[in-house]
Amino acid sequence: MTNSIDAVAFERIAEQAVGHYGWLLLGAFAALMGKDVLVNFVQGLVIYWGSDFSNDEILYISGRQARVIRLGLTATTFFMTDRGTKMIVPNSQLKELTVEKKLPVNGGASYLPKGDETGVMKVEVVNEKGERRDLA
């Protein structure tokens, strides 16, 4: 008979603990689960409002040429030009990458496209006399 009373008493104590402190347990669980999302979101805001990266900018990530495709709030997407693939990096891990950026020389053009790269390029028409005319 004492075992049944102890079980009932234990059930009451457990019910009271969950009732009074259950919101703490749920809050702690949500905080642990949402920590990574929150960190990526804050890092995304810092990158988005900062001037470290901008869309269509050419960078070198660990020696590999990459173009910034998209700056998101949780992740940044790069196009790796050597393999023709895209790389998605969570914003919290951007600080772990080795990123290089070419700076303009004496105020010159920051990036000159090569012939094998795709993208917007200036087109000129040259007639037989050697006169040039822009199509833009």
**pLDDT tens digits for range 28-54:** 888 888 887 788 778 778 877 777 788
pLDDT at 93 over 80: yes
* Tokens at 83, concatenated: 């393999």
> Rounded mean pLDDT of the chain?
77
Which helix (H) or strand (E) segment is 106 a member of?
none
Per-residue pLDDT tens for 48-74? Answer: 777 778 888 899 998 899 999 998 877
Q: What is the pLDDT of residue 6?
A: 78
Beta strand residue intervals within the chain, DSSP E = 58-61, 64-71, 75-80, 85-90, 99-100, 124-126, 132-134
Structure tokens at 31: 């905080």
Single pTM value for the model: 0.51
In this structure, what token pair is assigned to residue 36? 């990574």
- Domain limits, the chain: 2-134
Torsional sign, CA 104, 106, 112, 114: negative
pLDDT at 87 over 90: yes
Tokens standing for residue 98: 């080795």
Task: pLDDT band for 19, please (50, 70, 90 cuts).
Answer: confident
